[in-house]
Amino acid sequence: GAKVIFQVALSILEMNQKRLACCRDDGEAMQTLCNYLSGIYNEELEQSEVYKDGDKMDKSVSVQELINNGYKKFKSVTSTTIENLRVMHRLKVVQSLEDGNEKNIVRSLVSDNYFSSDELMDLLKFVREEVFSIQKRIQIQPTKAETPMEPYETYKIDFYLFEKMFIAISPLAQNNGANNLAVRLFKLMDMNDDGFLNFRELTAALGLTSTVDVSMRLKMLYLLHLPPLLSDDLLSLSDPILSESGAEYASDAAEYFDINISSDTINELNLNDLKLLRHFVNWKQTSKTPQVCLPSMSEDRFVALCKTMYGLIENVPISVKKSKKLYK
């Protein structure tokens, strides 16, 4: 069990202490131990030669000698001692693992260029404390990442926490419709539709509405006013006054956002499909990737976009009189 493993490990370190003391860095020490372990053989076998990748290796020590040396020199190591040490250092080990996990998360997200390393670390610590506080309060088990390649899945937030962060951080939230924008943005960025945003989705949502250039933020506003994010029910609440002239304004808006629109493209698109909008969010402009095309905006949605932008600029709701002028 654990006792034998510890005794053998301590025996290996004891036999290599002089070699390890001469190593200049961790990499050299690991290579020294790797070479030593590759030379371990079983003396009970008739052919006890050691090979690695077809090459003959120098023998280092037999398994029998290794176990015997560990038992004799480290017989004071008992299962009880190991368990006591495990309990004593558990908090330190867990904290070390969490710190390593957080550094991996920051390292994997800094290339997205939404936030600096320090900003990501501060944001991660805030989310961690909030998530742990909620888990402790309602007594649920913390979420584990599905794969080691997705460490940011460990930290997931619900809409209520996201709404508070969005309103506190994003310039796009500085208007009376911030709560409604938060709902649409959350729905857009919840890529797997599980009702939560993992840390990567959170940083993208905040970054695309806070730290990217103004033109990209305006494009995000455009996305948030397309169906199905802005539903017909929400539009009907504003009692829009439709007119034919609205189509011209909507076309001008589409041209401003550099959206390539053609009749063939529109016919092929499902306007109620979130995948299209999410594809735009994930799209990175390079010389090898084509421009992402989005559908044109209807008049009533264009008016809703104008109202949102008016609220951002003036920081007050648009009046009914000015609202009616948008349709003329």
Residue 155, domain member (yes or no):
no
User: Which of 56, 77, 98 is where one domain is finished?
Assistant: 77
Q: Is the per-residue pLDDT at 242 higher than 50?
A: no
What's the confidence (pLDDT) of residue 281?
Answer: 81
Q: What's the pLDDT tens digit per position in 247-291?
A: 443 444 444 344 443 444 433 444 457 888 888 887 665 445 566
Nearest by Cα to 274 from 166, 196, 173, 184: 184
What's the confidence (pLDDT) of residue 124?
Answer: 92
- Pairwise CA distance, residues 154 & 97, whole Å: 13
Nearest by Cα to 37 from 72, 6, 70, 63: 63
Residue 304, domain member (yes or no):
yes
The stretch 113-125 carries a mean pLDDT of 93
C-alpha separations of 201 from 50, 157, 190, 268 in Å: 50, 10, 7, 28
Residue 302 CB burial class (10 angstroms; 0-12, 13-18, ≥19): buried
Strand partners, 52: 55
**Out of 23-27, 49-53, 281-285, 315-319, which region has the weakest mean confidence (pLDDT)?**
315-319
Residue 37, domain member (yes or no):
yes
Residue 106 CB burial class (10 angstroms; 0-12, 13-18, ≥19): buried
∠ CA 263-268-271, nearest 5°, is 95
User: Which of 24, 52, 77 is where one domain is finished?
Assistant: 77
User: Which of 44, 77, 110 is where one domain is finished?
Assistant: 77
Q: Which residue has the higher pLDDT, 99 or 145?
A: 99
Residue 73, domain member (yes or no):
yes
- Pairwise CA distance, residues 128 & 185, whole Å: 21
Residue 240, domain member (yes or no):
yes
The stretch 59-88 carries a mean pLDDT of 88
Contact indicator for 205, 162 with CB cutoff of 8 Å: yes
**Out of 101-105, 138-142, 241-245, which region has the weakest mean confidence (pLDDT)?**
241-245
What's the confidence (pLDDT) of residue 323?
Answer: 52
Residue 267, domain member (yes or no):
yes
Q: Is the per-residue pLDDT at 318 higher than 60?
A: no
What's the confidence (pLDDT) of residue 188?
Answer: 92
Looking from the CA of 99 toward its CB, the CA atoms found within 13 Å total: 6
* Tokens encoding 30: 């690991």
Element counts in the chain: helices (H) and strands (E): 16, 4
Looking from the CA of 95 toward its CB, the CA atoms found within 13 Å total: 4
Looking from the CA of 7 toward its CB, the CA atoms found within 13 Å total: 22
Residue 311, domain member (yes or no):
yes
Residue 25's domain comprises 2-77
Residue 185, domain member (yes or no):
no
This prediction has a pTM of: 0.63
Q: Is the per-residue pLDDT at 78 higher than 60?
A: yes
Element (H, E) at 312: helix 299-314
∠ CA 104-109-114, nearest 5°, is 150
Q: What's the pLDDT tens digit per position in 290-317?
A: 666 677 888 888 888 888 887 787 765 5
- Pairwise CA distance, residues 106 & 98, whole Å: 12
| Percent over 90 (pLDDT), the chain | 24
How many structural domains is the chain composed of? 2
